[in-house]
Structure 1
């Protein structure tokens, strides 16, 4: 057995937190009979609060296991794989799986032929479950996996009507809090650079921007919205376009830190001072946000918690078989730095 990572909760710690015995926690994890419903709920709450991930390798599992799960990236644009979001998510998922005895397999699926090929691979028992990220609107792969009864958890959602299990950040609330902060700072000519609008996360961040303006009695103007693909290059182009349309812009919310970094470059090239002339807020809070000039105010996504929650939901589906789909939305936090 490998050494336990510092900070990784143990079965004993869950038991202490729930004020029950170690055996009771084990029975709850294994969905065994003989546990009162109130006790079961108490243990499940402790597991949730501590972020405990069961060690499947230490348990006797019914049926054949591959002891592997697939992380499937469905992003058709190869440039996106260079963005910090992908590496951060992969790291958080790998950390969450460290003590489970389960291998994380990275797979790229970008075409219908690749979707079908992956489905047959997964149905062949080569993986026990699937983690999906960067799923765009209309992607059929989650439906195909659900129809094949393969345990599946999405990072984000395809729409507000998503039925497959997912973990998401509160994108609407995060964007709303960012724009509300700009408004409290006296900014009134606020623009936004969105992500690709066939991603539901980008739609939600745009909605949060709109809601914050509406709550302040300001009218939403489509000309103050520019779309990007989350890259720095697209952020530069979008910001230059917005300045040309509206020279009076005094604030901007960018849908990612990378996009915001590109926007900062465009503002500098246009002779605009940040934050004196234009305040800039990003979204993610990766290490990049502390390397920009000035350092970036941003909406922090709880990446570690997202990884733990995705793994927890997937392990539950793998253990319990057919279960009701679970939806988890995690809170964001506005981190104030020098760009505002």
Structure 2
């Protein structure tokens, strides 16, 4: 049996094994490994020889809980393949790397219960921060439970950061990094209305999701501002994927074929809508105009290139990480703020990117 296997019940040496083999206290081994305390050269050599012999690996998690080690940020995302919030995760990870922090990524699968369970797990793991990406299903139980987790994280020296969703209600120790979602939809709907469109098929996203609610509200507000009746029958809720865009347009062409434009909740939904229009022999934008939301790289790769709302996703990720780092260092995050106290709310702007997918309507409205 090897020396390595003789140690511990699972073959992994512990700091107590190192101390026993070296004939010193656990505290002495800890001082040598941390490098933060003066120790004799003879003690350092003796301990490090045993460390090599036993193939001992320092438990970074235990060091983190003790206030040392490398800070870790947990990024919880609905779907790791989703292009928009993958850019947020990239921003968080990039900013974390610059600071020498580690990043973990977990997926929630659009399941509120799994999201809450992962937040609780990360709290138990002692991470520096938990960053939640994407919209939330805004029901009371979710708000109450997430507020409890935020306070629990705070008590453990960690912090909750919400990205791309509304802040929690009340005085909750959580940072929100948001973008002007409703105003982006308002600007995009206004762009269509100013081009002469009056019958617009709106695909805001899943019913009940805060992101979709904001986009629908912005679109309705634009119609009201222009004095144009808004037809709820032209609103089709569904997932933020191309399959929904395709199916929704196909159904609308059968049920309410007089629409002249499509306002898609994301660029991916817009891509599916374009495919459905082409399948029916309709041209974009000659017959039907179409716009998206997000301004992911796909938007400029479509034919025609997609007019859309630019959201600074990667910058949101960087701001989120900076907010956590600033909090740990005792400085305040920069950016436009709403409210104050423990519930910091940072808001980034959006803007319309005009490309080639909108034209004044030619079809009879």
Structure 2-normalised TM-score?
A: 0.69
After TM superposition, list the pairs within 5 Å mapping 1:217-228 onto structure 2.
Answer: 217-228=227-238
Instruction: Give the match for residue 12 of structure 1.
Output: none
Instruction: Give the match for residue 293 of structure 1.
Output: 303
| Match of residue 242, structure 1, among 246, 252, 265 | 252
Whole-angstrom CA distance in 2 between matches of 1:234 and 1:136: 19
Instruction: Give the match for residue 94 of structure 2.
Output: 95
**Matched position secondary structure for 2:236:** strand
Structure 1-normalised TM-score?
A: 0.74
Whole-angstrom CA distance in 2 between matches of 1:215 and 1:297: 21
After superposition, the Cα gap between the structure-2 partners of 1:166 and 1:113, relative to the gap in structure 1 and judged at 3 Å, is closer
After TM superposition, list the pairs within 5 Å mapping 1:106-125 onto structure 2.
Answer: 106-109=105-108, 110=111, 112=113, 115-116=116-117, 118-125=119-126
How far the C-alpha of 1:161 sits from its partner, in A, is 4.4
Instruction: Give the match for residue 34 of structure 1.
Output: none
Instruction: Give the match for residue 138 of structure 2.
Output: 137
- Report the number of matched residues: 273
After TM superposition, list the pairs within 5 Å mapping 1:128-277 onto structure 2.
Answer: 128-134=128-134, 135-138=136-139, 139=142, 142-148=146-152, 149=154, 150-158=158-166, 161=169, 164-277=174-287
CA RMSD of aligned residues (A): 2.5
Instruction: Give the match for residue 31 of structure 1.
Output: none
Instruction: Give the match for residue 347 of structure 2.
Output: 329
After superposition, the Cα gap between the structure-2 partners of 1:112 and 1:339, relative to the gap in structure 1 and judged at 3 Å, is closer
After superposition, the Cα gap between the structure-2 partners of 1:209 and 1:160, relative to the gap in structure 1 and judged at 3 Å, is farther
Task: Indicate if the aligned counterparts of 1:228 and 1:259 stay in contact, CA closer than 8 A.
Answer: no
- Tell me whether 288-297 or 141-150 shows the greater mean CA deviation: 141-150
Larger gyration radius, structure 1 or structure 2: 2
Task: Indicate if the aligned counterparts of 1:155 and 1:166 stay in contact, CA closer than 8 A.
Answer: yes
How far the C-alpha of 1:81 sits from its partner, in A, is 3.2
Whole-angstrom CA distance in 2 between matches of 1:199 and 1:334: 22
Instruction: Give the match for residue 363 of structure 2.
Output: none
Whole-angstrom CA distance in 2 between matches of 1:112 and 1:261: 31
Whole-angstrom CA distance in 1 between matches of 2:113 and 2:353: 40
Task: Indicate if the aligned counterparts of 2:76 and 2:105 stay in contact, CA closer than 8 A.
Answer: yes
Q: Which runs of 5+ in 2 are unaligned?
A: 1-65, 332-339, 359-365
- Map Cα deviations across residues 167-220 of structure 1 (whole Å, 9 max, x no partner): 111111111111111111111111211111222111000001100111111122
Task: Indicate if the aligned counterparts of 1:69 and 1:104 stay in contact, CA closer than 8 A.
Answer: yes
Whole-angstrom CA distance in 1 between matches of 2:192 and 2:238: 21
